[in-house]
Every structure is written in C-alpha cells, then in structure tokens.
Structure 1
C-alpha cells in the first residue's frame, strides 16, 4: 500500500515527540550513534531540518548554511512539538507531494522521505543515546525502505550515509534500514 508522505510524517512525528519529551536535560552532552553529534547538537540539527523542510513542502528555498541553537531557546521540547506539527501541516497541503522542490530540484516525495528518514533514524539515535528503546511504526519503515535503498549510493558519496553495516540473518526491517545508513543497531542495543 502506498501512503501519502503526510500520513507517514504524522505517524513518525507522534513517536518522535514522545522520545524528545523524554530526553533529560542532563543527557544533552551524551554521545549518539550519529558520531558527529552529541544529543544537543543532534536535536538542533533535527529541528533545523524540520524547519527547512516546512519551506521545501511549500516549494520555497531552504537555508542549511548555519544551525541555530534551538535547544538554548526556552522550552525546546514544546518547540520541537510545534515545529513538527507545522511540518506535517506543510506536507499535508494540496500539491506538497507533487512536482519538484529544493536546490537540487528533486521530486517532492523524495524530499519528504528525507525528512521522514531524519525523524526516524535520528529519533532512534536520540533514544539510544538516552538509554531508551525505539521501534518506529512498521508503515514508516515500509514507506522508507525503497527510497533509502535508492538514495544510499548518492548519500554515501555525499557523506550523509556511512558504508552499510553487515547484519546477521534474522535482522528486522528497521535494523536493515539502520544498517543501510551505516548504523549498527546491535552496537547500541
């Protein structure tokens, strides 16, 4: 079954908000499976992605030149919930999934899958960094799998993904998705 990206984003956001609400202040400096970020930096990155992908849904320019300190601005948990709500609304607007968007003029649905991936994989990163389990909704994983496999070669060339991790037989679909991005789900179990 093919889901609208706005439906998948809504499902992912519901789970992401729960994880972010549970991040304790004293873990903001903890390392994450995404080696270049600690928890604070990853939250800032994720919020910046969410804000910029609202613009991309409206076929407006994005600006990734500098990441603001969203975590240093008041109630960042409420800010995350508000911004992810705006993201879902933006991708629910008529025409958001149609045509192309962004500086690379990519198909809008592919662009939406990028933010969906961030709201799935980086939420797993944050959950693991703070000692909690996270298993995304199977429809989200299903909606991402083909797109992630298609974008993986380019993402590796751009240093967005690391080399794929070999997993033993019996790995579940989400573990395989994480492995495609270069994460070893069993190293952070």
Structure 2
C-alpha cells in the first residue's frame, strides 16, 4: 500500500528541484532529440513536465484534472526551467495539510491527496530520468528518494496488466548496474 504516514510534500519538492536542474541543463540543440518516453521528444517532454505540475496544482485546489493541457506549448526555447519553477511555486501551496488525506479527483480516479502526490513524484522522477538520458545529463537523483518512490510504484503500478487503462509499458528488467532512478524508470517500462 502507498505509504499513508509519510508526508510526501518534501519529497515532491526535492523531485521538482532535481528535475528543474535537469531542465536548466537542456541545450537548445537538444530540443528535437528523442527521449526514452516514446510519446515525447525533448521539447514536448519539457511541455509535459510543466503541464504535470500545473495539473498537480489544479488537483490540490480541488479542480478538474482535465482542465489543463497534457503538454504546455508556447514556451520559449530558453524558458522551460523558469516555467517549471513558476508552476512548482504556484502548485506547492495548494497542498495544505488538510488536502493530504482528503479525497481528490485525479486523472486515474478518486484518491487521497497523499496518493496523488506520490504519483506526481513518480512522474517527476521518471520523466526527469527520460530527460537526463536524452540530454546526456546525470540520470540518478538521491538514491533514498528514488528507492522510496520505487517502493510505492511497485505497489501502486503493478507489473500486470500494462497498456490500455494502465498507461505504462511492460516492466523492463533492470541492468545489474542500474541505480534506483533507472530501476524506477524500468518499472515504468523505460528501456535502459
């Protein structure tokens, strides 16, 4: 079961900080590069990362999770890090103490706010790994953070079934040398 006692907000803040650093490290000549997430090239992935944080804010505020786009467009090539930072700055205050255990409506159903935040931490780390891998940046976050999210993901995102309503590819066997962030990405169907 998802950890029901840990406050996931500090972990989400840490995941957002890590991903912000990766976004800031993207060069303009890398924006059209492919990523391990086959749905996105680097530019589209950056827009999706911004949209995910915006969606987390909307959910935290009790709004409709489908009110915003899945990819934010119209951001200048050098503006993604600032847009992501700004989205995080607006999102974090939405997750007040009383929202953690309240039911919220997420794209995948009604869950506690705490569960929704764990899912968005997973999203930040897996897509951060995608971005780092695509742009040649260090792809491991703090091991304890990735291990905590991997433990939750293994329960919340079962290996079977995948595809259809479960928008993840089959689990990929991790290389013996894989760090915890890479293993988390593998659990989400990303190939090393």
Instruction: Report if the CA contact (8 A) 2:139-2:182 is conserved.
Output: no
Q: Which moved more, 1:6-15 or 1:53-62?
A: 53-62
Match of 1:102, SS state, is strand
Instruction: Report if the CA contact (8 A) 1:97-1:109 is conserved.
Output: yes
Q: Residue 110 of structure 1 corresponds to which residue in structure 2?
A: 115
Rounded to whole Å, the distance in 2 between the matches of 1:89 and 1:143 is: 23
Find the partner of 1:85 among 82, 86, 89.
Answer: 89
Q: Structure 1-normalised TM-score? A: 0.85
Instruction: Report if the CA contact (8 A) 1:70-1:76 is conserved.
Output: no
Match of 1:116, SS state, is helix
Rounded to whole Å, the distance in 2 between the matches of 1:131 and 1:73 is: 18
> CA 1:64 to 1:44, structure 2 compared with 1: closer, same or farther past 3 Å?
farther
Indicate the RMSD between aligned Cα atoms, in angstroms.
2.3
Find the partner of 1:4 among 4, 7, 14.
Answer: 7
Q: Residue 42 of structure 2 corresponds to which residue in structure 1?
A: 39
Unaligned 5+ runs, structure 1: none
Rounded to whole Å, the distance in 1 between the matches of 2:163 and 2:67 is: 19
The answer to whether structure 1 residue 158 and structure 2 residue 158 are counterparts is no
Rounded to whole Å, the distance in 2 between the matches of 1:22 and 1:32 is: 15
Unaligned 5+ runs, structure 2: none
Aligned residues: 184
Rounded to whole Å, the distance in 2 between the matches of 1:80 and 1:171 is: 28
Rounded to whole Å, the distance in 1 between the matches of 2:103 and 2:152 is: 16
Q: CA deviation at 1:98?
A: 1.1
Q: CA deviation at 1:18?
A: 0.8
The answer to whether structure 1 residue 183 and structure 2 residue 167 are counterparts is no
Q: Structure 2-normalised TM-score? A: 0.84
> CA 1:170 to 1:38, structure 2 compared with 1: closer, same or farther past 3 Å?
closer
Q: Residue 101 of structure 1 corresponds to which residue in structure 2?
A: 104
